[in-house]
Amino acid sequence: MSRTPSIFVDTLRIVVAVATLIVAPTYVAAQAGPADASRAGVTESPQADAMVRAPAAVARSAAAAMALPAKADLALVQEQEVITGDLVLQATSDLTLDLSKLERIEGRLVVTDNLLLERLNLPALKSVGGSVEISGNESLLELNLSNLKKVGGELKVADHVRLGSLVANRLESVDADFVLSGNQQLGELRLDKMARVGGNLRCENNAALKTLALDRLGSVSNIISISGNTLLTSVALPTLKHAGGLIVIAANPSLSAVELAKLSEIGGHLMVSDNPVLTTVSMNHLGAISGNVEVANNSKLQSLGLAQLSLVEGDLVVADNIALQKLGMTKLVSVGGNLAIALNDGLDRLGLNKLEHVGGILSIADNLTLSGLELGSLQTSAAIEVENNFALPSSAVSDLQRRVDGSNNSMLDIVENAK
């Protein structure tokens, strides 16, 4: 059975203007001068901003193409298997866009601001050489990218009020950022084959999202941000080994567990904050963090699993986690900046027996039930502050004071601890 021949289009832009779909070469208007336009067989026109070069069998000139009605032009697109440039779909009046034959786009895919569009179906699409942006389609209910494996640029799905179904279960890699943001009705996203994100991974402000499955994700080159997802209950990235930049897990009101079991290195900061029902954080394979660590204002956090962490190059702050009972950092040796442990009402002991060096200030303050310091290996710190830990016995403070006075390398400030 013969296949419909592909039409290789340099840049395809579909724009609705009145009842006419304009098709003509965009790059001529945007990049080429009159001589280039002439060589392409296209004359410049007031409508040049929305042009595409069509094959001679389809359109003999830009003027002829511009005369085609919208439905006819969309029908031409629906027959394509390969587009060698960009495909831009904007402001269409269609309720459904079914591009079931399209297998490859060598440029960008942009689907934005289609107010009436309810269904976007690209079931055969396997690769996009450039970026993919699908955003601001207020009526969009379903997005089918079920065969998409690779995106050569950014993948962004954002700002949809009604989107409830996003199928991209064969996606393996995104070479730049992956952004899932502001999709108010999306309850689940399963990317079971996703192995690599070449830029940032952002999952933010998806109000109905309960499940985010990234079971094979091994590497994210820059930032990971999972924030502001109202119904998200867990974050599990079981195969993630490397994060090149900042990791932020913040302001997720329903989040109860964070598990990054194989994560061994963070190239930037780690922030876990403002997750009111979070009870456990497990990163027990993590050995080093190149930036700061902040674990703050997680009111139900009981366990902080950082059992292999030995080095924090920046500041380390554990604060205002009122249910926290253990720091879980028994192998921590060095903090390059300040170390602050404060306002953790349930914290009984520090468990920092291997800590040798704090490059800045070591501050232990306002931990109401703290009864032991466990800082027996501490050798250097710019200054030490132990304040308002009302259950901390004087013997623990005296022992720390003797060692600090003997080392002559720290200033010790002790205020209002137990007598």
pLDDT in tens, 222-272: 999 999 999 999 999 999 999 999 999 999 999 999 999 999 999 999 999
Q: What is the mean pLDDT of the chain?
A: 83
Residue 282 is predicted with a pLDDT of 95
Residue 81 is predicted with a pLDDT of 95
**Higher pLDDT pick, 294 / 415:** 294
Amino acid present at 268: G
Element (H, E) at 31: none
Count how many residues are written for the chain: 419
**Confidence class for position 406, pLDDT limits 50, 70, 90:** low
**Contact residues for 230 (Cβ-Cβ < 8 A; gap 6+):** 207, 208, 209, 252, 253, 254
Among 46-60, 275-289, 302-316, which stretch is predicted with the lowest mean pLDDT? Answer: 46-60
Phi, psi dihedral angles at 74 (to 5 degrees)? -65, -35
Element (H, E) at 394: helix 394-407
Phi, psi dihedral angles at 39 (to 5 degrees)? -65, -30
What's the rounded mean pLDDT across residues 40-61?
Answer: 31
Phi, psi dihedral angles at 402 (to 5 degrees)? -60, -45
Helix (H, G, I), strand (E, B) or coil at 248: strand
pLDDT in tens, 121-156: 999 999 999 999 999 999 999 999 999 999 999 999
Alpha-carbon 166 to chain mean position: 17
**Where are the domains positioned within the chain?**
1-80
Segment 173-179 long-range contacts (CB within 8 Å, at least 24 positions apart): 173/149, 173/197, 173/198, 174/150, 174/198, 174/199, 175/150, 175/151, 175/199, 176/131, 176/151, 177/201, 177/202, 177/222, 178/154, 178/202, 179/154, 179/155, 179/204
pLDDT in tens, 339-380: 999 999 999 999 999 999 999 999 999 999 999 999 989 999
Phi, psi dihedral angles at 93 (to 5 degrees)? -100, 5
The predicted model scores a pTM of: 0.83
Amino acid present at 284: N
Element (H, E) at 183: strand 178-183
Amino acid present at 397: V
